[in-house]
Structure 1
Amino acid sequence: MTVPRSWRDSKKIRQCRPHPVTDAPFAIPDSKVGQLDTLLHNSGVLGLIDTELAGRPGPGGLPVRTVLVGLLLSLHYHQSATLADACRVLLDEVTPTARTWLAVTDMDRHDLHARLAFSRRVYRSFDRLTSALDPYRCDRRRRLPTDEAAAHAAAWEDEDAEHLRRRRLLQEISDRLVLVTVHLAHRRGLFKGWKGDIGIDTTPVPAWHDEPKTHKSLASVEITAGWHYCAGSTEGIFGHSATLLVAGSRRQPTGHPRAGRRVSEHPQLALGLVLDTPGKRIGPNAIHALGALAPFGFPAGVLAVDRAYTDQTAPHFAEPARRLGYRLVLDYKQNQRGVQGSAPSGALLVDGSLACPAVPTRFAHATTGLDDGTVRAMDDQLTELIAQRRPFFLKTKQAADARGTIRLQCPAAGPSPSVNCPRFHHVHGTANARPKAVDLTNLRATAAHSAAKTAVPIPTAERLRPPPKNELPRICQKPTITLHPGGLGPHDKFRQDFPYLGPAWHDAYKPIRANNEGLNGRAKSHRIDIGDPKKRLAHGRAAQTILVALMVCTLNLQILHDWHLTSGTPPTPETGFSGFKHDGHLTPTAYTSTGIPPP
């Protein structure tokens, strides 16, 4: 094949290359600076930060507000949360008017020494913030000996009053940076049709620094980082773990009522974020994020979580989640499926649901020992067994109260029993009841007849010689029982509100877990990538918490923008918002006809 002559001419090749329109730096419109500055003010973090830094010695330096706005602009336009990129944005890309708003004094931006001096001011301002929020400040520029690093890391775990106060303040700042975007969506009315379904997942946030060197007795620069093991992986990721909440949605059991392709009724925003050491406080971190949503007044719907949360003790996760009003949808490991225990009343705990003590063995152990592949790709036989054991589950007679106490009923009791139990008829004197005539042409009446119900298999010996009433399980003596929080002991963490692997469980668990994975994918995409440590190079957990919170805040703004574009509905005017001036310099941002500040 003959190569064209132009391909061999280096001058012509250079002429064919694309050239930028201009070499001038990118110009960020003042409206975007004002929009992000307004968002930062509305979050309330600036007041918390100013109060914390008020009594610290030394000059005030560059305002923390300037650094945070620079980081938000850098994330929005360059997908980076590094201080170096924030410096370039503040010096080269914002207009002189916006620099005046942000208290960036006039300087010769072309003077190398002036630029270096400004960058040092940015770094010192951010370091002043992280030092004030760090429970135990240490040298973050070098590896510490293992014993010295352990003393500093203990400040993130102990019960010291000052350490607790700083950790709570850091988490409150992180919560406000994330929830300000939820406030924005809520004011626009984007959660009107949301039922309160939430998915929780923990995703790794890798660290830039190397892991500890045990043979040299040296710790990592990130003294609170650890090894995060994803489900099914034997190789850990060194860094921190981020607990993320997503606004999920369920499928309808019989299909979506609207014709055509199903469209989500709300944006799937990140509703909460907690950054922590891998494997530490998995359940309490999720409960904290759920509690932070209480002021919004959202409904409490379904809470779908993976097996990491199923392993948490009931007081750490299941009990407080139920007190908040959520219904749990859980998954189990291979050795946790099947019969998981029993209640004091004699009822069996079968895959998270309390069942009749006389449930057939093949139904109770339908999932015992099954691996994940078999459960996720259920065959017809397993599907039939799951369906046949459902009538044996205890029925809910009274929903949970404020303490989480519920009332359950024997499946053979009540006006609409689901099984036909000879033991129940003998104990409660209904065996000789006069049968009722039924119209066989009425399908509903035929299905409600006792002869059409599933029969409870009672042993032949018990049929011939019924035991005394006091020797039977309590659920058989008294058809209604009260189940208090923690009433199942250590097995209470397995209890859930939908029959495992049933239609209702699939319609809730699978879509919400898909929402979780979708949020994780967007959080680690080419736009905002919390999984790339090169985009957040600051040292220390306090710095990482703030930077990841800013990244999730920017991610939510992108989700809101994309949701309006894909749904075809323009944003409605916000309610309950009043403009204000930025430190006496920035006037309220002019709103467009769509109700939001200009881009």
Structure 2
Amino acid sequence: MSTAKPRAWPPRTTRARATRPRPPAKQTAQIPDAVVGHYARLLNDSGIMPLIDAELGTRPGPPGLPIAAVLTCLLLSINHTGKATLVEAWRIAAFCLSGAARHRLGLPDINPADVHQVLASSRRFYRAFDRLTTVLDPVRHDRRARLPQHQADALAAAWEHDDPAHSRKRQLLQDIVTALVLTPVRWAKGRGYLRHFRGDVGIDTTAAPVFARPPRARRSTGELIASTEITAGWHHSAGNGPPEYGYSATLTVAARTRPALGSFPQLTLGLVLDTPHKRIGANAITTLKPLATLGFPTGFAVADRAYTDQQPGHFAQPARELGYRLALDYKVDQRGVQGSAHGALLIDGSLACPLMPDRLAQATTGLDDAAIRTPSDELTALISAREPYLLRLKQSPNTDGTVRFQCPAAGTSPSLTCPRYDRLHQRGPNRPTAVDLTDTRQRAAHPAAKPRILPPQPEHKTAELPKICQQHTITVSKDDLGHLDKFRQDLPYLSPSWRGTYSAARAMTEGLNGRLKGHDVDLADPKNRLAHGRVAQTILVALLVAVANDHFLDQWRHTHQPPDEPDTPADIFETPAERLDRSPLTGRSRPPPVP
């Protein structure tokens, strides 16, 4: 056994002390004018200030601080500190801007040594933000007091019912959110960075917790008092984590599900903040509608099981009307045979021959999520064996949503042979032809290589047969499946094409959710959004996502476009009338840390 003493640690040298991490300084260094101008331009290009000014109208009294200056300082606060708090934004407005930047934003100069001027400046800053939240709130109330639950419920009803005045306020707030989130997206499209985007999107709902406490009963009287966030609720995620009290943020993400010629920045294309588990499908459609105005193509809309559960008129049918194809997942009790239309079976979202073998039709019935995520070789073989029995698309959806499908035994290249089809449509037996056994395509096209339908014995009468067996094709409207139309999707479930589409889009969606809850910008930390009220929370979340989009765009540009490379050509999906934005992306980078 060694008796050597352990070697002592090296002495603390000056160099070692200099390399230790240090806490950040309490005061941010002066922000460069280029950064201030960048975010002032983002706010100006969003076009929300004319909407806000029109809603404010002519108000009595002093004009107060410009709301545009308050929102610009909030953007700067998110960029530099990751916090969308008024105290950080005011600190930047008061102490971290140059005189020229303050003048351009309309902020008066203050003497930092004069306590009264500093206090008056902060109050004017808070009152300016309060003017904005007041004018956009459908029903104004004291957001600092916890009201009795019955009074809070009466106020929260303004966010639910269809009163025209309240609906107009809610729509105006959503227009502001959409404009903020899409401004970096329009910049990216104008510079040609989204020319490889093919319109595939991932849709998900994530928690946006609030700092307010949930409702509780008073200890003294037992009276139930509401939260200061009267429209918040418990957000239950699909995982095993505990629920979070706050709001649900519906996010639509630019995804890539197919091989493309190049990459494009991963951006948030839509945002809606709402009470948890309410209007899930409608909020997703709200995020999809503005994308048509940007000239983007429509591809696959990939969503999880929360959207599969929505009524067809809330999500599936409006998404198809917008031109999107669906890639969906199912719960355990939703897998397998889900229904029928005109005799064709709806099996895991795809219409199939009514005589598909039961072993294939029930291949996924009762399987849990683990068996679906990591399918066995037997399940993979059964899924592949389903393909010849699936109805083939004959005609894409028309304006009223009807789709035409063809029997798999019909046409010049049938995928299976069916004695019932041959008998009803008087198709004689094929004449024997020579087949080159070395040719893969000839072997696969021969009837002997295709599955053969085994009709029941005794066979049904012609009048009793399903419609799909009596005709070559069937027309399926959006009402033929009723509420089961929410299960219909455009790719065979668990097939290689479905896995490539669904897995890629879900990975990108979860990846962007993780980036929104990262170190620079953390949507999951309620301390980064301390202002009370749904209007304030909605605006602050929109500002967070807008800055995050700006960060993602800047990071992608520095990775994929060398500094000396000129801007790329126009987006191939862009109309000639659009004006390209050729201004360089400068000034967004953060200043170096304070020494």
For residue 555 of structure 1, the aligned residue among 548, 556, 562 is: 548
- 1:149-168 alignment runs, 5 A limit: 149-168=152-171
Structure 1, unmatched stretches of 5+, are: 259-263, 580-590
Match of 1:109 among 104, 107, 112: 112
Q: Does the aligned pair in 2 maintain the 1:227–1:237 contact within 8 Å?
A: yes
Structure 1 residues 506-517: aligned runs within 5 Å: 506-517=499-510
Secondary structure of the residue aligned to 1:419 is coil
Q: Secondary structure at the match of 1:204?
A: strand
1:472 and 2:469 correspond: no
For residues 118 and 456 of structure 1, do their structure 2 counterparts lie closer, same or farther at Cα, with a shift above 3 Å needed?
same
Q: Where does residue 454 of structure 2 map in the other structure? A: 457
Residue correspondence of structure 1 range 349-368 to structure 2 within 5 A:
349-368=346-365
Structure 1 residue 440: Cα displacement = 3.7
- Asked if 1 retains the 8 angstrom alpha-carbon contact of 2:405 and 2:473, the reply is yes
Partner secondary structure for residue 542 of structure 1:
helix
- C-alpha distance in structure 2 between counterparts of 1:335 and 1:19, whole Å: 54
Alignment map for 1:269-288 (pairs within 5 Å): 269-288=267-286
What displacement does 1:36 show? 0.9
Cα pair 1:6 1:13 within 8 Å, conserved:
no
The answer as to whether partners of 1:187 and 1:574 remain within 8 angstroms in 2 is no
Matched, 1:387 2:384: yes
**Which residue number in structure 1 is paired with residue 574 of structure 2?**
none
SS in 2 for 1:454: coil
1:447 equivalent among 420, 444, 447: 444
Structure 1 residues 131 and 470: CA distance shift in structure 2, 3 A? same
- Contact 1:146 1:218 survives alignment (8 Å): yes
Q: Deviations over 1:575-599 (max 9, x none)?
A: 75599xxxxxxxxxxx87x465675
User: Retained in 2: the 8 A contact 1:395–1:411?
Assistant: yes
CA contact (8 A) 2:192 2:568 kept: no
Relative distance call for 1:569 and 1:430 in structure 2 (3 A) is farther
Residue of structure 2 in register with 1:49 after alignment: 52
SS in 2 for 1:60: coil
Q: Indicate conservation of the 8 Å contact 2:391/2:408, yes or no.
A: yes
In structure 1, the partner of 2:252 is 245
Aligned to 1:245, the other structure's residue is in SS state strand
CA distance in 2, matches of 1:357, 1:15: 76
Check conservation: 1:363, 1:389, Cα contact below 8 A: yes
After superposition, the Cα gap between the structure-2 partners of 1:598 and 1:159, relative to the gap in structure 1 and judged at 3 Å, is: closer
Pair 1:167–1:19, CA change in 2 (3 A): closer
1:413 aligns with 2:410: yes
**Which one of 262, 266, 278 corresponds to residue 264 of structure 2?**
266
The one-letter code matched in structure 1 to 2:336 is G
Matches within 5 A, 1:396-435: 396-432=393-429, 434-435=431-432
Which residue of structure 1 lines up, in the alignment, with residue 143 of structure 2?
140
C-alpha deviation, 1:3, in angstroms: 6.7
Report the Cα distance in structure 1 between the residues aligned to 2:508 and 2:382, rounded to whole angstroms: 29
Call closer, same or farther: CA 1:598–1:165 in 2, change over 3 Å.
closer
Q: 1:339 matched to which residue of 2?
A: 337
Q: Which amino acid aligns with 1:355?
A: A
Q: How do 1:187-206 residues align onto structure 2 when only pairs under 5 Å count?
A: 187-206=190-209
Q: Which residue of 2 aligns with 1:316?
A: 314
CA contact (8 A) 1:46 1:65 kept: yes
Residue 385 (structure 1) shift = 0.4
Residues 129-171 of structure 1: CA distance to partner in whole angstroms, max 9, x if unpaired?
Answer: 0011010111100100000000110000011111001000000
Given candidates 292, 295, 298, the residue that maps to 1:294 is: 292
Q: After the TM superposition, which of the residue ranges 174-183 and 558-567 deviates more from structure 2?
A: 558-567
The partner residue of 2:532 within 539, 543, 561 is 539
**Whole-Å Cα distance in 2 between the matches of residues 16 and 430 of structure 1?**
85
Q: CA deviation at 1:15?
A: 9.3
Please say if 1:377 is aligned against 2:374: yes
Distance verdict in 2 for CA 1:72–1:398, change over 3 Å:
same
Distance apart, 1:437 and its partner CA: 4.4
Q: Which residue of structure 2 lines up, in the alignment, with residue 123 of structure 1?
A: 126
| Cα pair distance change 1:366/1:111, threshold 3 Å | same
**Residues 569, 510 of structure 1: alpha-carbon distance in 2 compared, 3 angstrom cutoff:** farther
* Structure 1 range deviating more: 468-477 or 428-437: 428-437
Contact in 1 for aligned 2:191/2:580 (Cα 8 Å): no
> How many Å separate the matches in 2 of 1:598 and 1:528?
15
Query: Residues 190 and 580 of structure 2 are in contact (CA less than 8 Å); yes or no, is this contact kept in structure 1?
Result: no
Aligned length: 571
Higher mean alpha-carbon deviation, 415-424 vs 426-435, is at 426-435
Q: Tell me: CA distance 1:387–1:472, structure 2 relative to 1, closer, same or farther (3 Å).
A: same
TM-superposed deviation, 1:235:
2.7
Deviates more, 1:203-212 or 1:564-573: 564-573
- Code of the residue aligned with 2:303 in structure 1: it is V
Task: State the secondary structure of the residue aligned to 2:242.
Answer: coil
Query: TM-score, length-normalised on structure 2?
Result: 0.91
1:227 aligns with 2:224: no
TM-score using structure 1 length = 0.91
Contact kept? 2:305, 2:331, Cα under 8 Å:
yes
8 Å Cα contact 1:573-1:595 kept in structure 2: no
CA distance in 2: counterparts of 1:18 and 1:397, whole angstroms: 65
- Pick which of 474-483 and 558-567 moved more: 558-567
Query: Which amino acid is the alignment partner of residue 155 of structure 2?
Result: H
Superposition deviation, residue 196 in structure 1? 0.6
**What value does the CA root-mean-square deviation take over the aligned residues?**
2.5
- 1:29-59: CA deviations, max 9, x gaps? 1111111111111100001000011134443
CA positional deviation for 1:456: 1.2
Alpha-carbon distance between aligned partners in 2 of 1:169 and 1:89, rounded to the nearest angstrom: 28
Q: 1:342, 1:349 within 8 Å by CA — same for their partners in 2?
A: yes
Write the deviation string for residues 323-359 of structure 1: whole angstroms up to 9, x where unpaired.
111110000000000000111x100000000000000
In 2 relative to 1, CA 78–16 (structure 1 residues): closer, same or farther, beyond 3 Å? closer
Deviation, structure 1 residue 567: 2.3
Q: Residue by residue, what CA displacement relative to the aligned partner does 1:489-510 show, whole Å, maximum 9, x if unpaired?
A: 1110000000000010001000
Alignment of 1:580-591 (within 5 A): none
Q: Distance in 2 between matches of 1:325 and 1:449?
A: 37
One-letter identity of the residue aligned with 1:157: E
